Structure 1
Amino acid sequence: MKTLGLIGGTSWHATIAYYRDINKVVGEIIGTEKNPPMILHSINIALMREQNVEKINAKYLEVSQKLEQAGAAAIVICANTPHMAYEYVQPRIGIPILHIAEAAGNEAQRLGLKKLGLLGNRPTMTGNFIPSVLKSKYAIETMIPEALYIDQAHNYVSNELTQGKFTEKAKQFFLNQIKLLAANSADGIILGCTELPMLISQDDTNIPLLATTDLHIQMAVAFILST
C-alpha cells in the first residue's frame, strides 16, 4: 500500500471522518488484518478563519513539504476550503495532491450531471478552486445560492458545523437552498463542506447529492491501493 499524507484540522471533526473512513474502506477491500500507512498533520483551524491567503499558502506548502519528506506518496487535504492553496502548493512539491473537485467531477460525470449547485462556507462558494476544475476538466457548470443566503450558509458552517453542532434549523436552511438551486436548473448538489454530509443525507432530497468527503475518501483509497 502507498503511504498517504493527510492535512487535517479544519475541522478536526472532518479529519476524524477522513482517517476513520479511509481505514474502514481499505479494510473492507483487503481485510481488517491490515490498515493503510498514513501520516497526519493537523493545522490550527484559526489559520483558515483569518482568511489570509498568503499565510494559508505558506502553511500548506510547509506542511506538504514535510509530508513529502516523511515519505508520503500523495497528499489529501481533509476539507474543501483549504484547496484554495492547491494552485500555489502543487507546483512546488514532487508528489500529487488529490484534488477534492476531481473526486466530485468524476462522480458527476459518471451520473451524467452537467450543472451543479455548490454549498459550503463563503470562501468555498465564492472561490474558483472547485468551479474551475469542474469547468476545465469536466465541462460542468457550477452555481451558488443567491448573495443574501451566502452569509447565512457561512455562519452555519463556521459557527456550528465545524464546531460539531448539527441542528434541525441548519438542516432546514440547507435543504431549502437545495430546493432553490434545483429550481434554478441544478441537476445535482455538491455538499462542499466536509461537515455537511453529517447534517444532510441523500434520504433528505430527491436531487443527487455529491458529498465531497465521501468521494474524496474513495479517491484516497483508490490511490493507496493502486499499483
Structure 2
Amino acid sequence: MSHARVLGVLGGMGPLAGATFMQRLTLLTPAERDQDHIPAILWSDPRVPDRTAARLSGGEDPLPALLRGIAGLEAAGCGAIAIPCNTAHGWFEPMQAATRLPILHIVEAAADELLRLGIAGGPIGLMATKGTLAMRLYQARLEGRGYDCLVPREAEMDRIVMPAIDLVKANKVSESYAPLAEVARRLIERGARAVVLGCTEIPLGISAGPALPFPVADTIDALARAAIAWAKPAG
C-alpha cells in the first residue's frame, strides 16, 4: 500500500487545536464514504515547550521536540506534514531542513484563505500570540502579498488576547469568546477588511459564540484546506 498521500499532523500545541484540525480536515474533505477521506497520522505531543516563552523570554527550545515529532511522522510513512500551531512556524526553516517531506506552511494557507474570502489586499487584522507577532511570521509574508497588517495594541495583547488563549488551553473555551470577539471588532473598527485568526486557539474561542459579522480567516480551516489540496490535487 502506497503512503505517498498519508498526511502527518504534528499536533499537541495545544492538544485541542490538533484534535480540531483533524475534525475539520474530515468535515472539509469532499467525501461520500470512508475511503474518500485522507489517511492521516496525528502526533499529538503537548510536552513541546512553550513557543512564545522560548522566543520572548529565554524559555526551553522547542525545536528538539518538534524534530522528534517530524522524525516520527516520517518514519510512519507520511508524505507531507501539517502543523496546526502558528507560533511553531517560527522554527519552520530548521524543521523543513530536517526532513525530506514538504511541510505545509500555515501562513501561506492563511493567505490563500483570504483570497478565498475575496480579500485580495489592503488592511487586515491579525490576532496571534505575542511570539508569532514578534517573529513577524504573518507580517513578513502577507505584506509581500499586498496586505497591511493591523495588530492588537500591546495592552490588548497583555490583558485580553494572551489570557483568552490561556483560557482555551485550560479547556475554558466558552469564556474566551467575548474577549477575543471584542479585539477582533476593534481591529475592524481600525480599518481592517478581515481578521486573520493567527493562533490555532483563537478560532476555537471565536467558534464558541455567535458568528462575527465580518470576514475571518480561520487558520485551522486554512491549513486543513491546504492539506486537502495536497492530498487530492486538482486534475
What TM bracket, shorter-length normalisation? 0.7 to 0.9
Aligned length: 222
Measured in 2, the distance between the counterparts of 1:186 and 1:114 equals 8
Query: Given residue 225 of structure 1, which amino acid in structure 2 is its aligned partner?
Result: K
* Partners of 2:46 and 2:170 in 1: CA distance: 13
Query: Tell me, what secondary structure is at the counterpart of 1:132?
Result: helix
Q: Deviations over 1:79-119 (max 9, x none)?
A: 22211111221133211111111111012234124222111
- The residue number in structure 2 matching 1:44 is 46
1:70 corresponds in structure 2 to 76
* Contact kept? 1:113, 1:188, Cα under 8 Å: no
CA distance in 2, matches of 1:25, 1:50: 30
| 5+ residue gaps, structure 1 | none
> 5 Å matches for 1:77-116?
77-110=83-116, 111=118, 112-116=120-124
Q: Give the Cα separation in 2 of the matches to 1:135 and 1:92.
A: 28
User: Counterpart of 1:134?
Assistant: 142
Separation in 1 of the partners of 2:94 and 2:48? 20
Corresponding position of 2:34: 33
Instruction: Give the TM-score, by structure 2 length.
Output: 0.84
For 1:151, which of 125, 141, 158 is the aligned residue? 158
Match of 1:177 in 2: 183
Question: What is the DSSP-based 3-state SS (H/G/I as helix, E as strand, rest coil) of the residue aligned with 1:130?
Answer: helix
Per the alignment, residue 122 of structure 1 pairs with 130
**What stretches of structure 1 move > 3 A for 4+ residues in a row?**
201-204
Q: Secondary structure at the match of 1:36?
A: coil
Query: Is 1:61 aligned with 2:34?
Result: no
CA distance 1:205–1:33, shift in 2 (3 Å): closer
Distance of aligned partners of 1:31 and 1:204 in 2 relative to their CA distance in 1, 3 Å threshold: closer
Provide the C-alpha distance between the structure 2 equivalents of 1:69 and 1:135, rounded to a whole number of angstroms: 36
After TM superposition, give the deviation of residue 74 of structure 1 in Å: 0.7
Structure 1 CA distance, aligned partners of 2:121 and 2:205?
23
After TM superposition, the structure 1 = structure 2 runs for residues 4-15 of structure 1, keeping only pairs within 5 Å, are: 4-15=7-18
Q: Could you tell me how far 1:24 is from its partner in structure 2? A: 3.0
Structure 1 residues 9, 225: CA separation in 2 closer, same or farther (over 3 Å shift)?
same
2:17–2:204 Cα contact (<8 Å) kept = no
Q: What are structure 2's unaligned runs of at least 5 residues?
A: none
Q: What SS does the aligned partner of 1:164 have?
A: coil
- Name which of 221, 231, 235 aligns with 1:224: 231
Q: More helix per residue: 1 or 2?
A: 1
AA of the residue aligned to 1:76: A
Give yes or no for contact 2:121–2:146 (8 Å, CA) kept in 1.
Answer: no
What amino acid sits opposite 2:141 in the alignment? V
Change (3 A) 1:46 1:58: closer
Question: Partners in 1 of 2:69 and 2:197 — Cα distance?
Answer: 26
